[in-house]
Amino acid sequence: MSTDKEELEVENDFTAEDSEDAGERTVEVAKTNLAKRRMIDNMLAERRLQRQLNDYDFDF
């Protein structure tokens, strides 16, 4: 460590717009993943119900 007061060079290339775009992309990916998951859940529920209907004895 030095005891001298040195000026630190700071890069000001960082822009807030880039970080906001990345956050929006993450939200879009999460939304599409959630939509896909819901679609898969609905398909599985439909299959389950179809099996229950096929297994049900309609003869009285």
- Show the CA angle centred on residue 26, arms to residues 25 and 30, nearest 5°: 115
What is residue 5's DSSP assignment?
-
> What number is the average pLDDT over the span 6-22?
61
pTM for this model (two decimals): 0.49
| pLDDT tens readout for residues 24-54 | 777 788 889 999 999 999 999 999 999 999 9
Q: What integer pLDDT is reported at residue 52 of this predicted model? A: 92
Nearest to 56 by CA among 31, 40, 48, 35: 48
Domain boundaries, the chain: 29-60
Length of the chain: 60
Segment holding 28, helix H or strand E: helix 16-55
Distance CA 33, CA 26 (A): 10
